[in-house]
Amino acid sequence: MPDRECRIVSDSNRGPLVFGLETSCDETSAAVLDGENRVLGHVVLSQDVHKVYGGVVPELAARAHLQKVDAVVDETLGQAGVRLDEIDVFGVTAGPGLIGALLVGVCWTKAVAWALDRPLVPVHHMEAHLFGPSLEDPDAEPPFVALLVSGGHTLLVHAPEWGTYELLGRTRDDAAGEAFDKVAKLLQLPYPGGPSVQRAAESGDPGRHRLPRPLLRRDQAPDGPDYYDFSFSGLKTAVSELVRSIVAEAGGPADAAIERERPHVAAAFQEAAVDVLVAKTLRAVEQTGCPRVLLGGGVSANAPLRATMAERLDALGVGGSVHFASPRLSLDNGAMIARAARFRWERGDVGGLETTASARLAFPCLSSTASAVLQRT
């Protein structure tokens, strides 16, 4: 913490040990990385308490973090074979997310960093998702075009280097993951919706129902307002109307009609969502001239999204590559927080006692320079 001179007590064999804690939503997760960003210990505890409600209940999430944080940290340190006082740098998700949930992590980490006299690094959750793939894939480095798709955010970003981010597009309403979760509910599938929809869609025919591709038209121009932006609330409404008409036409019990058409509706929705996400990302590849694509956030665990992105990027013939993490590191996790914390710490972006959580934390170093990118091309 900057209020005092911080001690770095790193063992030179391991390099500075960085700890990361994630509590922004419904995963309590901690990790320890060594100086080479190797994961020495990593625990991800998903809260089951929300399942019966079909979505995350903020108050319950905060309480569950509070109850489990000590056990999660103990287990992580045990795996890593280090004591808490051997950690050199403490990173924590400071936002965006659920404020009560975030506060548990921030207060815990702030107290420990203060007590041990170590740097405290507040981390932006979505910047951390950018770092997730690099923990497993040495080529997941800038320059890249990043599609960040989670339960709360959908961002299309051009990153010429770490710490320099140009915002190309974002959702105008629902996030991509939110759309998966809402469609899962409409189809009476369990929370979290993304994996449920993906599974249901496996046996479905995506061509049986036609759904719209919001904000995606051929006549859009790179300098137009819709070229990169996304919109998912209309797609969700279209699914809702489709389900209503399926039930009305069937005439019998609603549950049976939904069950019969579920795989096909799930497949049609997934295809529409993936189509839009991939098309806009590839527009960014073409306009920026940057052939490397990075997928981050929970929705990047979606297998058809990964496969379609790779296929269509290949078809562009620009020698591109797609980079994403394994599902464990695509979904919320402490390892990506520790990785982003190391980056921020190396740049001197450490917090002090004034550090707090922010539900709507601004993405660091994000400039809205779609026009600047276009001018270069």
Cα separation, 154 vs 233, whole angstroms: 13
Task: From 144-152, 212-220, 223-231, 361-369, give the range in contact with ligand KG4 by CB under 6 A.
Answer: 144-152
200 and 262 Cβ atoms separated by less than 8 Å: yes
Is the omega angle on the peptide bond into residue 192 within 30 degrees of 0, that is, cis?
A: yes
Q: Which is nearer to Zn ion, 271 or 332 (CB)?
A: 332
Q: According to the binding rule CB under 6 A, does residue 271 interact with ligand KG4?
A: no
The tokens 């944080």 sit on which residue? 69
CB of 168 to ligand KG4, least distance (A): 20
Among 47, 150, 154, 196, binds Zn ion (CB under 5 A): 150
Question: 193: Cβ–Cβ under 8 A, 6 or more apart, which residues?
Answer: 177, 180, 181, 182, 183, 184, 185
The tokens 């209309």 sit on which residue? 234
Q: According to the binding rule CB under 6 A, does residue 105 interact with ligand KG4?
A: no
Among 23, 231, 281, 302, binds ligand KG4 (CB under 6 A): 302
Instruction: Please give the structure tokens belonging to residue 35.
Output: 């100086």
Total of residues contacting ligand KG4 (CB under 6 A): 19
The amino acid occupying position 179 is A
Bridge partners of 31, per DSSP, are 20, 42
Alpha carbon 16 to its chain's center:
26
Q: According to the binding rule CB under 6 A, does residue 96 interact with ligand KG4?
A: no
Q: According to the binding rule CB under 6 A, does residue 334 interact with ligand KG4?
A: no
Question: 288: Cβ–Cβ under 8 A, 6 or more apart, which residues?
Answer: 145, 158, 373, 376, 377
Instruction: Output DSSP code: residue 87.
Output: -
Q: According to the binding rule CB under 5 A, does residue 127 interact with Zn ion?
A: no
Residue 117 burial (CB count, 10 A): 13
Q: According to the binding rule CB under 6 A, does residue 298 interact with ligand KG4?
A: yes
Total of residues contacting Zn ion (CB under 5 A): 2
x-or-dash string of contact with ligand KG4, 158-197, rule CB under 6 A: -------------------x--xx----------xxxx--
Among 22, 174, 271, 332, binds Zn ion (CB under 5 A): 332
Q: Which does 171 bind (CB under 5 to 8 A by kind): ligand KG4, Zn ion, none?
A: none
Q: According to the binding rule CB under 6 A, does residue 301 interact with ligand KG4?
A: yes
Q: According to the binding rule CB under 5 A, does residue 181 interact with Zn ion?
A: no
Instruction: Please give the structure tokens belonging to residue 369.
Output: 């320079």
Residues near ligand KG4, by CB under 6 A? 25, 150-152, 177, 180-181, 192-195, 198, 297-299, 301-302, 331-332
Residues near Zn ion, by CB under 5 A? 150, 332
